[in-house]
Amino acid sequence: MLRFKLRFTVLVAVVPLIAGAILAGVQAFERPRPCIAVGATTLEIGSAPWHADLHVSFTDDPSLATVRVAVTDSAANADFAVIDDVDDGQENTCKATAATQFVALSAQPSTSAPVIYLSHDGPADYRIFVRSRHFTLREAAALIVGAHGERPRLAAAF
C-alpha cells in the first residue's frame, strides 16, 4: 500500500510539470503575429478573439461587405504593401505596448464590425500588395481596415 501511495504522489507531482512543459513548448514555437505601426500606436493581429479591440470578418459576397479591399499585382499601386521576403534578421519589428490595439479575424460576420470583401479587380476602398512569409492576404486586409476604418460610401455603392 505504501508503494502505491508513493507512485501516486509522484504521478500527481509530475503530470502538471509535463503539461506545463508542453504548453511552454507550444508558445515558444508560435509564429510572430503580423503587426503595423500607425502613428504612436501599433495594430497587431490578436492571438485570442476575446482580447481584440476590433473584430473583422470576411465575405465572398460583395453585397454583404462594408469594406472592399483589392489585391494588386504591384506595390506601387497599393495603399498598403507588405514585402518581407528579404532575410534581414528582423522577424517582427513591432513592439507591444499599452497602446497596442489587437485585431481579430472572426469567422462569423457581425453587424457592428467591418465585413471585408477581398477582390482582385473592381472598385475598392483600399488596395493591398502582399509578398510575405508572415502576412496572409486576410491579415493584411484586416490591418489596413483596422488602421483606417470603414468607409461609409462603400455600403451605398452596392
pLDDT tens for residues 78-123? Answer: 988 888 765 555 555 677 777 788 888 888 877 788 999 999 988 8
| Residues 66, 153: Cα–Cα separation, whole Å | 9
pTM over 0.85: no
How does pLDDT run across 17-59, given as a tens digit for each residue? Answer: 676 666 555 444 455 677 777 777 788 888 776 777 888 999 9
Which residues in the chain belong to E strands, given as ranges? 35-38, 41-45, 54-59, 67-71, 80-83, 101-105, 115-119, 126-131
Domain definitions of the chain by residue range = 1-30, 33-157
CA distance 108 to 11: 42
User: Nearest 10 degrees: CA dihedral of 41, 42, 46, 52?
Assistant: 20
